[in-house]
Structure formats: C-alpha cells, structure tokens
C-alpha cells in the first residue's frame, strides 16, 4: 500500500515538473523569437525589397505594444 501511494506521488511530481519544463521552454522560445528571429526576418525583408510587407508588420506590432503598455 505504501508503494502504491509513493508511485502515485512520484507520478504527480513528474507531471508537475513536466508542466514546469513546458512553461520554461515556451518562455525561452518566445524570448528568442522576439529578440533575435523577428528583427532579423524584418531586416532581411527590408533589404530584399519587401518593405511593402515589412512596414505594415512593424507598424501593427508597434501599435499593439503601445496599447498593451498603456493598459
């Protein structure tokens, strides 16, 4: 009986740690995409002549960030 209780608790701890790992990985991925990948993509788009696509993206993201900070 004690073994069964310990197994249930161990499985519970495993899933809680797994959930924490997923949240940490998502946060790290979001940071990498925000600070490295998206600016590089927009810069490449501007230099390759796709400024008509890059400019509205930059304007929308800037507007959303201003509204989000005001709220």
DSSP string, 13-26: HHHHHHHHHHHHHH
In this prediction, residue 66 carries a pLDDT of 85
Average pLDDT, the chain: 87
Which is higher by pLDDT, 71 or 50?
A: 50
What is the predicted pLDDT for the residue at 71? 60
Give dist(CA 67, CA 71) in Å, integer: 6
Mean pLDDT of 59-68: 86
Residue 23 has pLDDT above 80, yes or no: yes
């Amino acid at each position: 009986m004690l073994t069964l209780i310990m197994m249930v608790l161990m499985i519970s701890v495993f899933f809680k740690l797994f959930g924490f790992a997923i949240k940490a990985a998502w946060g790290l991925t979001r940071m990498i995409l925000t600070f490295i990948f998206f600016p590089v993509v927009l810069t490449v788009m501007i230099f390759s002549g796709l400024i008509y696509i890059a400019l509205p993206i930059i304007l929308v993201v800037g507007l959303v960030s201003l509204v989000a900070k005001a709220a």
